[in-house]
Amino acid sequence: MFPKETYVRRRQQLAERVSRGGLILLPANGEAPANYPNNAYHFRQDSTFLYFFGLQQPGYVGLIDADTGETTLYGDDVTMDDIIWMGPQPTVREQAAQVGVARTAPLADLQETLTLAVRRGRPVHFLPPYRAERTLGISRWLGLRPEAVADHISIELAMAVVSLREAKDPDEIAELERAAAIGYEMHTTAMRMCRPGIVEREIAGAIEGVALARGAGVSFASIVSQHGETLHNHNHDGVLEAGRLLLVDAGAETTMHYCSDYTRTMPVSGRFTERQKDVYNIVLAANDRAFELSRPDAFYKDIHLEAARVLTRGLKDLGLMQGDVDDAVAAGAYALFMPHGIGHSMGLDVHDMEDIGERYVGYDLETQRSTELGLSSLRIGRRLRPGFVMTVEPGLYFIPAYMAKWKREGLGTPFINFAKAEEYLDFGGIRIEDNILITPVGNRMLGERRAPATVAGIEEWMARDR
């Protein structure tokens, strides 16, 4: 937990930024049953609740009066039964004091407060719910039909929260550095283990063990697959085969839930083939170009497009694309090989604040989300600012069904040489992902050490203990 002054300051700033006044409703997450009520998924606190209240407890509700700045934490002290099963717990009042909240109240009182506010016509601000239980809670508290809850989210609150959470302060950056260090260990562990005959899940289990041993666990379900062309492939059944590539996309959360998110792609045999090297080096060049360009005031959309140019140029050199590079990028033809964006912001969520809505996080009045091929999957297109933490994750993928569709429908014409591209249908996919902090003058990578990312660096690492 950060010093309590941090949370007091954040809540004050939030109240000031919601200038329409009213009540700001910030519920914690509840436990979520996996297969029966007493067997819950690993508890994950709501990130916005963590940001303003810092507490890991499920079920609490924070309420900030935007007119007076007064904050109340609603929650119930544990019962004797809870103590028997879970051990002694601090009281709500004690926990509230740790984060500078002086007023607490039982959960049962929340309904009356909110009913009164609604009756008096006071705005009650809440963020888009992403769990059904939250939707039902808001429905009940505010007297809205569950289907109508989404129509009443507060854009003002969404924008105020984003404006605070988007730029990370030094304490948060220190946490993100910790998450990066765990990510380094996860990926170098994977490189050490990667060899023919091992099953993907052995590597997935080992690196998720690193994340759990060093922090709160993984920041998202790990991708450890020889089918790197499937972007979010969570199957770990494959037995590693010499000659193929293994893609590992995995990251950690610290105990305070700050995230990392790295991807490395490595040859199962320990040595890249010439064909793999060619494609790998194109992706690496796109990565390098994005690092060169990421600085305050640069539009992330422009960095995406410049990376796309590097990919297109490289694919043209290999004969898979053809024609004018700028025209091909403008037509979105590269999206056949990279159907995702160059990166996203990261913080307390691996895709930071995606629950609040990418239109507020990644876009603004100046930068609207595009529906065009190649840009429609870009999560953030707006200008970067100091304190932003971003992933840079170009990739090249050969997705058989997608290639067949493009060919059938004439997409990407005349920029794709399908005859040549089809020679790569058994290739798989390559992604290289790093995490950067935007500084006042440019950017720097998070983490003291960068997991090997060049062909030589990966081969050298993999040659150890063999």
List residues near ligand GLY by CB under 6 A.
220, 249, 261, 344, 393, 433
DSSP lists the bridge partners of residue 71 as 64
Using CB under 5 A as the binding criterion, the count of chain residues that bind Mn ion stands at: 4
Choosing among Mn ion, ligand GLY, none, which partner's interface includes residue 220 (Cβ < 5 to 8 Å by kind)? ligand GLY
The pair phi, psi for residue 376, each rounded to 5°, is -70, -20
Task: Give me the least distance between CB of 265 and ligand GLY, in Å please.
Answer: 13
Task: Give me the least distance between CB of 384 and Mn ion, in Å please.
Answer: 16
Choosing among Mn ion, ligand GLY, none, which partner's interface includes residue 459 (Cβ < 5 to 8 Å by kind)? none
Contact with Mn ion (CB under 5 A): which of 249, 306, 355, 434? 249
Choosing among Mn ion, ligand GLY, none, which partner's interface includes residue 226 (Cβ < 5 to 8 Å by kind)? none
Evaluated on CA atoms 90, 96, 100, 102, the torsion sign reads negative
Token pair in block for residue 54: 């810092």
Choosing among Mn ion, ligand GLY, none, which partner's interface includes residue 229 (Cβ < 5 to 8 Å by kind)? none
Q: Which is nearer to ligand GLY, 244 or 351 (CB)?
A: 351
Q: How many residues does the chain have?
A: 466
Per the CB < 8 A criterion, the answer to whether 164 and 10 are in contact is: yes
From first CA to last CA, the distance across the chain in angstroms is 42
Choosing among Mn ion, ligand GLY, none, which partner's interface includes residue 11 (Cβ < 5 to 8 Å by kind)? none
- Pattern of binders to Mn ion over 408-437, x per CB under 5 A? -------------------------x----
Q: How do strand 434-438 and strand 389-392 relate by DSSP bridges?
A: antiparallel
Residue facing ligand GLY at closest CB distance = 249
Task: Give me the least distance between CB of 418 and ligand GLY, in Å please.
Answer: 28
Contact with Mn ion (CB under 5 A): which of 71, 345, 391, 443? 391
Q: For residues 171 and 174, what is the distance between their CA atoms, to the nearest angstrom?
A: 5
Task: Give me the least distance between CB of 141 and ligand GLY, in Å please.
Answer: 33
Task: Give me the least distance between CB of 344 and ligand GLY, in Å please.
Answer: 6
Which residue type, as a one-letter code, is found at position 130? Y
**Under rule CB under 5 A, residue 226 binds Mn ion:** no
Task: Give me the least distance between CB of 11 and Mn ion, in Å please.
Answer: 30
Q: CA dist 345 to 232, 259, 362, 378, 455, Å? A: 18, 11, 8, 11, 27
Task: Give me the least distance between CB of 253 and ligand GLY, in Å please.
Answer: 13
Contact with Mn ion (CB under 5 A): which of 185, 261, 349, 352? 261
Evaluated on CA atoms 38, 40, 46, 52, the torsion sign reads positive
Residues 6+ apart with CB under 8 A from 394: 283, 286, 287, 290, 307, 310, 311, 338, 342, 431, 432
Q: Which is nearer to ligand GLY, 10 or 257 (CB)?
A: 257
Per the CB < 8 A criterion, the answer to whether 403 and 336 are in contact is: yes
Choosing among Mn ion, ligand GLY, none, which partner's interface includes residue 253 (Cβ < 5 to 8 Å by kind)? none
Q: Which is nearer to ligand GLY, 172 or 393 (CB)?
A: 393
Task: Give me the least distance between CB of 1 and ligand GLY, in Å please.
Answer: 27
- For residues 7-66, which are near Mn ion according to CB under 5 A? none
Residues 6+ apart with CB under 8 A from 346: 176, 259, 260, 261, 352, 389, 390, 391, 435
Token pair in block for residue 16: 């000031």
The pair phi, psi for residue 402, each rounded to 5°, is -70, -40
Q: Which is nearer to ligand GLY, 220 or 418 (CB)?
A: 220
Q: Which is nearer to ligand GLY, 22 or 343 (CB)?
A: 343
Q: Which of 137, 142, 3, 8 is nearest to 70 (CA)?
A: 8
Task: Give me the least distance between CB of 378 and Mn ion, in Å please.
Answer: 12
Residue with tokens 């999957």: 377
Task: Give me the least distance between CB of 220 and ligand GLY, in Å please.
Answer: 5
The vertex-183 CA angle with 218 and 259, nearest 5°, equals 55
Give Rg (Cα) of the chain. 24
Q: Which is nearer to ligand GLY, 50 or 223 (CB)?
A: 223
Q: Which is nearer to ligand GLY, 74 or 300 (CB)?
A: 300
The pair phi, psi for residue 217, each rounded to 5°, is 115, -160
DSSP conformation class of 368: P
Q: Rule CB under 5 A: which residues touch Mn ion?
A: 249, 261, 391, 433
